[in-house]
Structure 1
Amino acid sequence: MIIPLSEIAPETLQNLVEAFVLQEGTDYGEMEYDLEQKVNHVMIQLKSGQAFVQYSELHESVNIVSKDQIEN
């Protein structure tokens, strides 16, 4: 189930995005990004509809998923 951003408290969304970014692991690209930059990048994706906050009833968990993951 997709959770609309408007239904998530700003502090909760910030914490969710930070947790998501921190679980992503090591950067393998040419540029290193700090936590704030990574969080901002994910926030932009969420606000633009390229990523979504998804709740899994089966796993009773919340995750951030890309638009491509939803469509497949």
Structure 2
Amino acid sequence: MQIPVDRLDAETLTRVIEEFISREGTDYGQSNPDMVDKVEGIRRKLKSGQAVLVFDEVSETCHILSREAFRSLQKGGAPTSPVPSNELGTDF
């Protein structure tokens, strides 16, 4: 189920994004952006529609997926794992 990010207050959205970032354990290579930069990068992708926030009712967790991965799921595609934030095309 998609969660409209414009219905979440800013602090709640920030906490959800932070939890996603800390859970996924992405390796950012030689650059190691701070949490604020990571959060803002993902927030921009969510607000622009390039990424979506979804709630998985089975695991009772939130995930952030690329728009394409979410569309694939809607069409009955194979379950897609969350996309690491560095693969969302964030500029951090």
Q: Please tell me the TM-score bracket, short chain as reference.
A: 0.7 to 0.9
For residue 85 of structure 2, what is the aligned residue in structure 1? none
In structure 2, relative to structure 1, the CA distance for the partners of 1:71 and 1:9 (3 Å cut) is same
1:1-72 alignment, distance < 5 Å: 1-72=1-72
CA RMSD of aligned residues (A): 1.5
Q: In the aligned structure 2, how far is the partner of 1:36 from the partner of 1:22?
A: 12
Per the normalisation by structure 1, the TM-score is: 0.83
**Structure 1 runs of 4+ off > 6 angstroms?**
none
Give secondary structure in 2 for the equivalent of 1:11: helix
Q: In the aligned structure 2, how far is the partner of 1:28 from the partner of 1:46?
A: 20
Q: In the aligned structure 1, how far is the partner of 2:48 from the partner of 2:32?
A: 23
Query: Which structure has more strand as a fraction of its residues?
Result: 1
Q: In the aligned structure 1, how far is the partner of 2:29 from the partner of 2:60?
A: 33
Count of paired positions = 72
Q: Which amino acid aligns with 2:60?
A: E
Q: Structure 1: which 5+ runs fail to align? A: none
